[in-house]
Structure 1
Amino acid sequence: MTLGPDDAAISDARALLARHPVVDGHNDLPWALREQVGYDLDRRDIATDQSQTLHTDLDRLRAGGVGAQFWSVYVRADLSGDSAVSATLEQIDCVRSLIARYPQALRAAFTAEDVESAREQGVIASLMGAEGGHSIACSLATLRALYALGVRYMTLTHNKNVPWADSATDTPAAGGLTPFGEEVVREMNRLGMLVDLSHTSADTMRDALRVSRSPVVFSHSSARAVCDHPRNVPDDVLAQLPANGGVAMATFVPAFVLSEVGEWNRAADENMRAHGFDRLETSAEAAAVRREFEAAHPRPRATVSTVADHLDHMRQIAGIDHIGLGGDFDGTTDTTSGLDDVSGYPRLIAELLDRGWSEPDIAKLTWSNAVRVLRDGQRVAVEFSRTERPSIATMAELDSAV
């Protein structure tokens, strides 16, 4: 059988990904497993087809050319204190259970060397990232404990502010980072835990870039100049990444990549409120209202080309050495057409090849930029270890002095 143009392009993309797999910055499978089956992995066996319930299973990871995955150990922002810490530990336990259950496919990774070794052995390097500073309950000792358990980045905020940092989607309170927030960044540098600036306000991004001696990451954020959403990265911040050495990993969430989707979401949410429902209500009555609205107002669809537009822009502003991919699969109900699950990466790579991206450029996007940042974070931690001791500062002592 002769391959058609589209089939041939996908075949070329798959071959390229076999040489340069994807390091994906963010996947919320652990939270989906918590919500759907209470971590009962027998009921969501990702060694079997889970396409009816999840964006992620092992066969689709392989089909997508994923060679390393940061599994998010996210917990909801309305959890705080000990409840947030306990839930984060349960998420970490879930990732460890997945790795233990599927040793033929997943390998725990804590360093750049571990990631490279897993690739050589044909398994998916599995790293962890905590999503939201509420997971440490304003405790640097808890931050260190998460690092000891294998967490290799922490997103400073989720959708709500934390007492020491502002979120992109909350009312500003700190004006960026407080003095304790700056100490959190320094302690993360000392440990070798990457500072993740997705979900943070633009002022928090700028403060963190000013303070951090280690490269930062945006584990799942796209370009604000292409889609004006607060979850995306402004151009002035993207332009600072070469000096910092960091990487912005484009995400595929439709509302973050296509402005019309955000507008549609706001109208749909207002319609729900007008009918007496919260926008997240899941009852049959609420679902009927949602279906009726969508039938009358078809949902705009982001496409692979939409995401490629973000990558073109991010490459132009930050440079090819400072971009990556972070799909946010299993962390969103709405997906981009063609990037509907973790198997979709070859379609995006085919689109980039069609736009004239070279193999060396794509290799940086998918693999080497992320591995370099991980390695550079380790190097900075070694430098810190020669002169710095673990911080015993508290938020009360630092922020009360302001």
Structure 2
Amino acid sequence: MKELPTYSEVGTTRRNSSWCSPRRLAAIGLGAVIGLQTLAAVKDSDTVAEAVYDTAVDVKWALTPLSSCPRKRALQLMSRQPVIDGHVDLEILSRWYYANDVEAFDLRKETRGQVDFPRMREGRMGGFFHSVFVPCPEDDGFDSQNQSNFTTPTWRVRDTLEQIDTARLLIDKYSDEFSLTLTAKEWRKAMKRGKFGGMLGVEGGHQIGSSLSSIRTYFDLGVRYMTLTHTCHSPLADSCGYVEHPSPDDLDAANAPLKPRWNGLSHFGRTAIREMNRLGMMVDVSHTSPKTASDALSHSLAPVIFSHSNARGVHSHSRNIPDAILRRIGSLNPSRRGKFNLSSDGEEGRGWGADSGEVDKPVLGGDVLIMLNFSPTFVSEWSDGSGLRSNVSLVADHADYIGRLAGREHVGIGSDFDGIDAVPEGLEDVSKYPNLVTELLRRGWSDKEVMGLTSGNLLRILEKVERTARKLRHEKPAYEIFEGRTDLVKHDSPPS
């Protein structure tokens, strides 16, 4: 087992006492600094007592020596910076098994899914994004979006509201455990008090009913990110569909009938992203085509996220991210900027964007987060049963790869738990996150890097999205009407 340095082994020659003079002076100095920070922060806290409590927690962690054992160290780091999972499908499990009856199951006991309070505590969780998902219309037997005009009447908005209601009911039912945390600051505060924070994420642009009003309503109900597409195109953008071993010609292939509708973002999608930036709702480009993801990186004023995606260079699935986009994200760090040799990466220079100058395009929002998906099909396996059996080490391979191309500061966790039937060995449910962190520590990830992966990177992104919204607060709401709609037009005369 790889041994990691303890605090007392780094930068000191006196190891016989944990309270030698230098440590004692450092502790006193640290306490004084944090004390001054506490006094400055009282005005932003609910009470002085809460500010003092927060300071005590910070001091405790600052003075706690870390174990040299990777497993014990992982648990210590995760207690300090718990996991925020960017994509958990608890609500769709509730819908499927219990018809949204939140009294029909008990999260205080082990559930039939992969998420419950005992296992969340064991896995050192600080909360998750409640994914509110309903299938694309054609997946439920409706016509394929009315020849891609996306105006075929369905119950997508109704069902999304039911999912939001279920999430809110669960949070209310377990208010001693859950907290609806609508800002990064609220989430940090909840975790310090031992509660599981939570925001909502809408997993598909088909769920807005071609209406910007739906986006604003969802935001008011607690939604803090929206995925622009699911497996179907949406009024906002093109989807990547669901294609194994994708090539540049896959969108026109017989087994992949998702021919591009918009060639990336639609005009309406650009307006929607601007509206999401104004509100403070994160733009999620998991499930989108690479061109859509690229357009979003070029258009969004706030950081963009991939809520549950892996790397194509490790496993070639359409749901994973091409090398060119990962390298483009990596160029955000000046020390990594430069000419990239894509032929040395996993796609060997043959992936999407390799010949179009993708890596040299700017990222307008200045930051990106990619959250690792645990679904075996996106890790190492194929739907026909071939491929390597997925496990925690192979998920760590994706983390390493994304970290090498994009930077470890851009990696998080978006497991897809309760939305997947199969799971990797060693990552069977939310209690197993420490296995992944332990593996990354053994591979040389630093304490700061793994605490970024667990939730630090996500909270950084949230704060930047909120900052962008504050800058745009003077802007008026957008009133654009989707081009495919004919039911909402302006008139010069009263109705007859």
TM-score w.r.t. length of structure 2: 0.69
Q: 1:251 aligns with which of 369, 373, 378?
A: 373
Is residue 92 of structure 2 the alignment partner of residue 35 of structure 1? no
Write the mapping of 1:1-40 to structure 2, written as runs, cut at 5 A: 9-40=70-101
Distance 1:83-1:385 versus aligned 2 partners, 3 A rule:
same
Paired residue secondary structure (2:472): helix
Q: Is the 8 A contact 1:180 1:398 kept in 2?
A: no
8 Å contact kept, 2:375–2:416 = yes
Residue in structure 2 matched with residue 370 of structure 1 by the alignment: 458
The structural deviation recorded for 1:16 is 1.6
Query: For 2:223 and 2:327, how far apart are their aligned partners in 1?
Result: 28
Using the TM superposition, give the Cα deviation of residue 11 of structure 1 relative to its aligned residue in structure 2, in angstroms: 3.0
Does residue 65 in structure 1 map to residue 127 in structure 2? no
Report the counterpart of residue 476 of structure 2 in structure 1.
389
- The within-5 A match list for 1:136-285 is 136-169=208-241, 170-241=258-329, 242=332, 243=363, 244-258=366-380, 261-262=381-382, 265=383, 267=384
1:300 to partner: Cα distance:
4.5
- CA–CA distance in structure 2, aligned partners of residues 353 and 81 of structure 1: 50
Residues 81 and 46 (structure 1), Cα distance of their counterparts in 2 relative to 1, 3 Å cut: farther
Deviation at 1:318, TM superposition (A): 1.1
Where does the alignment leave 5 or more consecutive residues of structure 1 unmatched?
Answer: 1-7, 269-296
**Equivalent residue letter for 1:16:** L
Q: Secondary structure at the match of 2:229?
A: coil
Q: Deviations over 1:353-393 (max 9, x none)?
A: 1101110111111111100111111110111112x210001
Question: Which of 164, 173, 178 matches 1:101?
Answer: 173
1:132-156 Cα deviation digits (max 9, x unpaired): 0011111001110100111000000
Counterpart residue type for residue 234 of structure 1: P
Match runs of 1:78-97 below 5 Å: 78=137, 81=153, 83-97=155-169
Question: Match of 1:396, SS?
Answer: coil
Deviation, 1:77, is 1.2
Determine which structure has the larger helix proportion and give its number.
1
Instruction: Select which of 124, 130, 146 maps to 2:202.
Output: 130
Instruction: Assess if the C-alpha contact under 8 Å between 2:136 and 2:230 holds in 1.
Output: yes
Deviations 1:164-210 (A, max 9, x none): 31111133221111111111111111111000000001010011111
- Give yes or no for contact 1:238–1:248 (8 Å, CA) kept in 2: no
In 2, are the aligned partners of 1:55 and 1:329 still within 8 Å (CA)? yes
What amino acid is the match of 2:368? G
Amino acid at match of 2:466: Q
Pairwise CA distance, 1:322: 1.2
Per-residue deviation, 1:397? 8.2
Aligned length: 358
Secondary structure, in 3 states, of the residue corresponding to 1:23? Answer: strand
Could you tell me which residue of structure 2 aligns to residue 119 of structure 1? Answer: 191
Report the CA distance shift for 1:46/1:81 in structure 2 as closer, same or farther (over 3 A).
Answer: farther
1:52-90 residue CA offsets vs partner (Å, 9 max, x unmatched): x20111111111111121110111112675511111111
Contact 1:81 1:134 in 2 (8 A): no
Match of 1:88, SS state, is: helix
**Which letter does structure 2 place at the counterpart of 1:44?**
F
* Percent pairwise identity: 41
Deviations 1:217-264 (A, max 9, x none): 111001111111110111221233334311011111111010xx11xx
Q: Are the equivalent residues in 1 in contact too, given 2:235–2:268 (CA < 8 A)?
A: no
Distance (Å, rounded) in 2 between the aligned partners of 1:188 and 1:20 = 28
Provide the residue aligned with 1:294 in structure 2. none
Q: Return the letter of the residue paired with 1:228.
A: S
Aligned to 1:285: none
Report if the CA contact (8 A) 1:30-1:94 is conserved: yes
Counterparts of 1:245 and 1:398, CA distance in 2: 34
Q: Which has the higher contact order (CA 8 A, sep 6+)?
A: 1
Q: Distance in 2 between matches of 1:22 and 1:171?
A: 38
After TM superposition, the score normalised by the length of structure 1 is: 0.85
Secondary structure of the residue aligned to 1:231 is coil
- Give the distance between the partners of 1:152 and 1:183, measured in 2 at CA: 17
2:405 is matched with 317
Amino acid at match of 2:120: L
Q: Secondary structure at the match of 1:248?
A: strand
Question: RMSD across aligned C-alpha pairs, in angstroms?
Answer: 2.1
Counterpart contact for 1:252–1:328, Cα < 8 Å = yes
- Matched AA of 1:396: E
Q: 2: distance between equivalents of 1:154 and 1:142?
A: 11
Q: Is the 8 A contact 2:179 2:197 kept in 1?
A: yes
SS of equivalent residue, structure 1 residue 230? coil
* Shift of residue 398, structure 1, vs aligned partner: 11
C-alpha contact (below 8 Å) 1:26/1:72 kept by paired residues: yes
